[in-house]
Structure 1
Amino acid sequence: MPLAHVVTFTFSPDLPAGTLSTLADRLDELSEACPGIDSYRHGPDQGDRPGNADYAVTAVFENEDAFTAYLTSPDHRRIVAELIGPHLVGKSSVQFPIPLG
């Protein structure tokens, strides 16, 4: 059964310039390299609502195994360790099955 994954990130105010652009490039590369991804979208908040997170990723995986492979891939771990984790002040995520038909 397909699985949806939604995650939002809130970063510290001192996020270095260019970090979100680098993050976007690396996420594009990651999504192209990981099998089992049906849909993958991400981007920064457009900034018109106070209190929103700074960045979001939405993805649909073929199944839970594909999602697990994505989460545990060395590239995903590197992105989290190098670009997200050092600047993260808040994160929220949810995964839910998408019934077929």
Structure 2
Amino acid sequence: MIQHLCLINFKHELDAATRQNVIDAYNKLPALIPGITRFECGMDMQLLEGNSHFGIVAEFENEEAFQAYSVHPAQGEVIFPVVGDLMASYTTTQFKL
């Protein structure tokens, strides 16, 4: 199993409707991309100063499934139209479970 973490920072504070649109867009991915065995995402709870604004935790069957996810057209078709102009930066990491 491969664990994938992604932390996103937005350019500015998002209103409630936009935050929900971001969450809804990301939550479409498991139905569109094979090999995802677990997928969770959400806005930061602001418990610590300096946290990223949004996080994703995803698990994949194997490295091949993760690689397929990383270049899957749904990333461009579903995610970037909603998130692309909002995103200031992101960072990712992957590790074996």
Structure 1 and Structure 2 fold alike (TM over 0.5): yes
State the Cα deviation string for residues 37-85 of structure 1 (Å, max 9, x = none): 1111100001121111000000110011111111211111234422222
Aligned to 2:70: 71
- One-letter identity of the residue aligned with 2:92: S
Aligned to 1:46: 45
- One-letter identity of the residue aligned with 2:21: T
In structure 2, distance between residues paired with 1:25 and 1:85 = 15
Cα RMSD of the aligned pairs, angstroms, is: 1.7
In structure 1, distance between residues paired with 2:15 and 2:77 = 18
State how 1:1-101 maps to structure 2 within 5 Å: 2-13=1-12, 15=14, 18-98=17-97
- The 8 Å contact of residues 33 and 74 in structure 2, kept in 1 or not, is answered as no
In structure 2, distance between residues paired with 1:15 and 1:5 = 24
Question: What SS class does the counterpart of residue 86 from structure 1 fall into?
Answer: coil
Structure 2, unaligned runs of 5 or more? none
User: Aligned residue pairs: how many?
Assistant: 97
- One-letter identity of the residue aligned with 1:62: E
Structure 1, unaligned runs of 5 or more? none
TM-superposed deviation, 1:14: 5.2
Identity %: 28
Q: Which has the larger radius of gyration?
A: 1
TM-score by length of 2: 0.86
